[in-house]
Structure 1
């Protein structure tokens, strides 16, 4: 069992800031409460320094946005370059697959 960390503790930190291109933007769907959900992939490509060596990093991962943030993603659209702020969580309670939950985004 994973302990419930103190909300003020740095062990409770789960924040991601990443840039990339929105791809595979699905048609919006809605929760039973009427909140919009936008599911998409973010394609990331960058150069990173690791142990004094320059590395080319390329990957794609799933992301989800809800409510006003979902509306913003839908307006921005597939193919747009964005910076996303969010957190990582399991896709659902029965899955071990991780997904980026978007809190905010801006076009870059």
Structure 2
């Protein structure tokens, strides 16, 4: 440590600092390599091939909704309503229901 015109110059030059500098360099290199591998893995993830395309997923969902609605009508009319389940799918049944609803207005 030197004192020069009101300033303290504290440069320590020992052999102990050199191994620390080497370890810092190793850490920096490891971090850089990790970042580059992360970037490469992100680039690989961007190219994704879907097994089921989105348009087919939407079609499947719409078909499942329609099937569940039909099953609900058949169960509701046939089991709960004590009617024949096949009658729930006939046009005349629905026309009768629509006439009952419009007549009440």
TM-score by shorter chain over 0.5: no
* TM-score normalised by length of structure 2: 0.17
* TM-score normalised by length of structure 1: 0.17
Higher RCO, 1 vs 2 (CA within 8 Å, ≥6 residues apart): 1
More strand by share: 1
More helix by share: 2
